[in-house]
A and B are shown apart, each in its own frame.
Chain A
Amino acid sequence: MLKLEGVSAGYGDFQALFGASLDVQAGEAVAVIGPNGAGKTTLLRVISGIIPLREGHLSMEGRPLDRVPAHRIIETGIAHVPENRRLFPRLTVEENLKIGAYLPAARSRFAERLDFVYSLFPRMKERRNQLAGTMSGGEQQMCAIGRALMSGPKLLLMDEPSAGLAPVIVQQVFDLVRRIRSEGYTVLIVEQNIQQVLKVVDRAYLLEVGRIKLSGKSADLLASDEIRRAYIGL
């Protein structure tokens, strides 16, 4: 479904990604794991068109995305749940969801998708007239996922969904990810919380200083000595 081949990118003089390649098949959940500063967020930002590709190729269902501007990525079926939620804090929950269905194609199915998101997250229905910025971190994460689902995406990009949340809430967020998976969405998730995320996804790539170092089934990675020693601390 999504394919990255030898992708390099960076900010100004600083290069954050060096020839990273990965692919995500339809129906899969894939994680990109790695420490702080490995380039995980940059990888998602390249896919979303927020920062330009310097080298390599990027395609979604065979359609090249190399030169597609950020606001047209969503038309290809990719929705981004950005790091730290990035909701529109002064708008209500429902207005945030409405903006998620900004595209004309999504607008016509707004009511139906809103029902779907509310059935998935009844809490959001209770809070629909509350300002998004006044909710707890876990609720904001729900709202951010809901906003992404409003466009009717095929692939959901999730950037550090557990970042900045209390441990109890982190559990809830990973439950959310499982729910999304069981609804049939393809998910590409970037996480530092390696032990937790590997329990949720099928496969993972280990990114270190901008390069893919390892990849494999999550069970294998969980069992591998390198990962255990360096990242899980066992």
Chain B
Amino acid sequence: MQRDVIAPLVIAALVALAPFAGQTDYFIHILVQILLWGFIYTAWSLMGRFGLVSLGHGAFMGIGAYVTVLLWNFFELTPWIGMPIAVAAAVALAAIVGWPCVRLRIVGHYFALVTLALTAVVALSIVGLRDITGGSLGLTPNREAAGTSIYAFQFASKTVFLYVALVLWLIGLFVWRAVDRGMGRYALQAISSDEDASASVGINVGVEKIRIILLSAGLTALGGAVFGQYQMYINPETVSGIGVSLQIVFAVVAGGMFVQLGPTVGAAFTLILAETLRILIGNEYHAADTTIYGLMLVLFIIFMPKGILGAVFAGLERAKAKAA
């Protein structure tokens, strides 16, 4: 078996054992967060690694979370159906925005700006439709009486969510692997460096690009939907909006977007950093953690463009080359 199968399975096995080791709820909570965000970051990197830098994933995540909760609250539609609908909605939006970008060859910074606008539009719509969405105050899924209900996708125990998040995370990594091993990776790498030359060897540039965009958007929406169910509270700031879009990019840049586990490392790194800063600094200096975040992002881009895991692998390669 290959590294891209073994490593995820070994990590998954260790995480699966965590609840049996008598870990605290807080520890489990951190793990769930790392896995859910790790999944979303992995979904983002599916396209980000090919030069399709999207600042629109806050929109897709928000749609995933909001559509699921709204369908439940207003129509009592189980999230088991609501989540696929939410994913379909995000995919449809990605197609509406993505296809013109592909046709008109909006790439690079311009693509990032178009997707940034998408995030802003979705976040403002959520705030604006406050009668339905609760606006800036956010929204809580109607709670099933017992607190735990498979039908309502509500679980009082964090351990259940740990396993849900674990499965989701593994799905993300295996989608990554499938893309990485297929001809699609070559096609997308070729497209990211030269669209005309790619077309001339027979790559259908438009179809390849839109396919990875839709895949990435759909998985992100799924992550958002599960995240909303886990938190049992969503608001435009935490699951949508420009803040979320930027958070995704920062974490992925930190962890490394070109290697399979890079986005997960980014999730672990940023969450542990945020928690540490929060505990050390407390709430006294409100923006201190974000400031340090921003500073670190700049440092990462300058000194470690491949991210933590990317730099580690590059170092190992160099050591191996030296030894040989």
Contact = CB atoms under 8 A, between A and B. Distances in A.
Interface of A: 48-50, 69-75, 79-80, 82, 86-91, 95, 98-100, 102-103, 106-107, 147, 151
A47 to B, nearest CB: 11
A80 B200 contact: yes
A155 to B, nearest CB: 13
Contact of A71 (B183, B186, B202): B202
B201 A100 contact: yes
B159 to A, nearest CB: 43
Contact of A86 (B189, B194, B205): B194
Nearest to A74: B202
B190 A88 contact: yes
A102 B200 contact: no
10 A-B pairs closest in CB distance: A70-B199, A86-B197, A80-B200, A74-B202, A103-B202, A71-B204, A71-B199, A88-B193, A102-B202, A88-B190
A154 to B, nearest CB: 15
10 contacts: A48-B199, A70-B196, A71-B204, A86-B196, A87-B197, A88-B193, A91-B193, A98-B186, A99-B203, A102-B203
B187 A79 contact: no
Contacts of A91: 186, 189-190, 193
> Residue among B189, B197, B205 with the most chain A CB within 10 A?
B197
Contacts, number: 70
The bracket for how many chain B residues form the interface is 10 to 19
B210 to A, nearest CB: 14
A102 B194 contact: no
Given A95-B186, A98-B186, A71 B205 contact: yes
Contact of B200 (A74, A89, A95, A98): A74
Interface of B: 183, 186-187, 189-190, 193-194, 196-205
A81 B216 CA distance: 33
A91 B193 CA distance: 10
Contacts of B193: 88-91
A81 to B, nearest CB: 9
B203 A71 contact: yes
A107 to B, nearest CB: 8
Nearest to A82: B197
Contacts of A151: 201-202
Contacts of A107: 183
A50 B196 contact: yes
A204 B40 CA distance: 57
B164 to A, nearest CB: 37
A88 B197 contact: yes
A107 B197 CA distance: 18
Contacts of A95: 186, 189
B187 A50 contact: no
A195 B19 CA distance: 78
Contacts of A90: 189, 193
B49 to A, nearest CB: 12
Given A50-B200, A151-B201, A102 B189 contact: no
B323 to A, nearest CB: 18
Nearest to A75: B202
Given A91-B189, A91-B190, A102 B183 contact: yes
B200 A79 contact: yes
Contacts of B200: 48, 50, 70-71, 73-74, 79-80, 82
Contacts of B183: 102, 107
B198 to A, nearest CB: 8
A102 B196 contact: no
Contacts of A86: 194, 196-197
Nearest to B205: A71
Contacts of A147: 201
B201 A99 contact: yes
A99 B187 contact: yes
Nearest to A44: B200
A73 B193 CA distance: 20
Contacts of A48: 199-200
A91 B194 CA distance: 12
B202 A82 contact: no
A100 B205 CA distance: 14
A151 B197 CA distance: 14
A106 B203 CA distance: 13
Given A91-B186, A99-B190, A102-B201, 14 more contacts: A48-B200, A50-B196, A70-B199, A71-B199, A71-B202, A71-B205, A72-B202, A82-B200, A87-B197, A90-B189, A99-B187, A106-B202, A147-B201, A151-B202
